[in-house]
Structure 1
């Protein structure tokens, strides 16, 4: 899988919680980690922009600089340059270039949690590609619809979000029957993952877990996927299992997350996984193993200067002392 097909949902799947001194998993899902920004499934290939413009064209160079700023999380610079690129495309009357720039703007707005702005832009992109002949079964239209459902979810418009996800899943399952391409499967995994997280927010943990597990199983079959994405997904599955009382399964997921996370240099959330594993062992009254896990989390917190992990590990160790 090329870089343009990195999983954009990796940076958009945050479940916000507050750290509390209670025996529970951290439910840690990191949104803004240093991975490619939300440009996955880029319309650059899907609308054939690169084929229509020379690689040295001024517009292409401007867009590439925009993407570079986004990858560096220099969002203000990216937005300013995107408006320059849009003006260039409009002066050239390059319709596919305009569409692509709107798409990048929409993803940037979604990245910055500017949901109303992102919604307007994604709708504009959908309208433009449909005016160019795309139908509602077109992969690009479904892609936009998934993002619009995600925006409704983030705005807590849960009924609208559910209707959107249901429509997208129906279209994607039909598309895969016709063409089981990896692109179609990637979109389905993204939709399932986001849909699962919607159910978590609605306290429907069993249903949410089923969708997230299905998404994870699809992810593991892809030819190229970031290990860091899989690690976070494993931790989240373990957290949901803990919430619904499946402690043995949660331990299995946390352990897999740790084992895979060790293969990633400077994995930022590794300490989180150790705390979660320790708390799961506390629930089984296996205090020696829990103490070892939380102690390791504390050391990682100190080494990586992560005060949240260090604090949670200290709470975990205190709980062990109080109960053992």
Structure 2
């Protein structure tokens, strides 16, 4: 059972209940074939608006598509419904509607947890292994998205728990070397470092970095930079500099200016800490 942020009263989500009523009149005027065409159009338009950052229209279109799905008999825990609900959560995060965001994340995660548990004993003739895996991966996606949000809100204990669960799912379904598994290890290391658990952070950051090197991970320079930061916080300044230099070489080879600047900022912080540590040692002699 997850420990959720205090101060909210949890009931059946208001946004799901509201969706059932959204654009009902419009749907009742369509015949079944027209409804399917309209649903596809709404879903495509919603995704396009979402990708463009047009949050207001994306929210309206996602709600309209979800309303139509519900009215056609699609259950609330259908993966398509939850995927759109997750995108609504991300919209609420971007528009700082924090109550709706937290409520939505909680509904998505708990609904999927119940669904995964329920599907365990269902024979594959009814629900295929691929479908079960997709549901688990969707749960992992929701946990990951919520963990990132909770990290931004400084709810670090909860973020750690969410990342642990997301990582376990990715390891079980996609394997230890999958790019998403490596990213989750890195993100978990970041949260552990933020909470002062440097030894555990080092363990995950080292594993993520080794896998990133072995697999030529597309985010290898970022993952290495994170390891360097963990090493810096552990006081391993020499090793941290070596890893930062490795990360900087990779970033420069791809001409990734934002990452290059991020790494250089980290190296400047490292230099300041190392110098301060040296001055403290000298003053004690």
TM-score w.r.t. structure 1 length?
A: 0.65
In 1: Cα distance, 2:157 partner to 2:177 partner = 26
Out of 261, 265, 282, the position equivalent to 1:311 is: 261
What are the ranges of 5 or more consecutive residues in structure 2 without an aligned counterpart?
A: 1-29, 121-131, 279-285
Given that 2:177 and 2:211 are in contact with CA atoms closer than 8 Å, whether structure 1 keeps it comes out as no
**Relative contact order, higher structure (CA 8 A, sep 6+):** 1
Q: Residue 226 of structure 1: CA displacement?
A: 8.6
Q: Name 1:202's counterpart in structure 2.
A: 153
Post-superposition Cα deviations, 1:194-231, rounded to whole Å, max 9, x if no partner, equal 22222112211111121122112111221579933223
Aligned in 2, Cα 1:172/1:301: closer, same or farther, shift over 3 Å?
closer
Q: Residue 163 of structure 1: CA displacement?
A: 1.3
Q: Name 1:248's counterpart in structure 2.
A: 199
Q: Residue 125 of structure 1: CA displacement?
A: 0.9
What are the ranges of 5 or more consecutive residues in structure 1 without an aligned counterpart?
A: 1-89
* Higher mean displacement: 105-114 or 241-250: 105-114
Aligned in 2, Cα 1:280/1:139: closer, same or farther, shift over 3 Å?
closer
Aligned length: 233
Bigger share in helix = 2
Are residues 1:239 and 2:179 paired?
A: no
Over 4 Å off, 4+ runs: 223-226
Given that 1:297 and 1:309 are in contact with CA atoms closer than 8 Å, whether structure 2 keeps it comes out as no
* Higher mean displacement: 304-313 or 270-279: 304-313
Post-superposition Cα deviations, 1:217-253, rounded to whole Å, max 9, x if no partner, equal 1112215799332232222111111111111222222
Out of 210, 233, 237, the position equivalent to 1:283 is: 233
Q: How does 1:98-247 map to 2 (within 5 A)?
A: 98-180=38-120, 181-223=132-174, 227-247=178-198
TM-score w.r.t. structure 2 length?
A: 0.73
* Higher mean displacement: 137-146 or 237-246: 137-146
Instruction: Give the number of the structure whose alpha-carbon radius of gyration is greater.
Output: 2
Alpha-carbon RMSD: 2.5
Q: Residue 93 of structure 1: CA displacement?
A: 4.9
Q: Name 1:322's counterpart in structure 2.
A: 275
In 2: Cα distance, 1:224 partner to 1:272 partner = 21
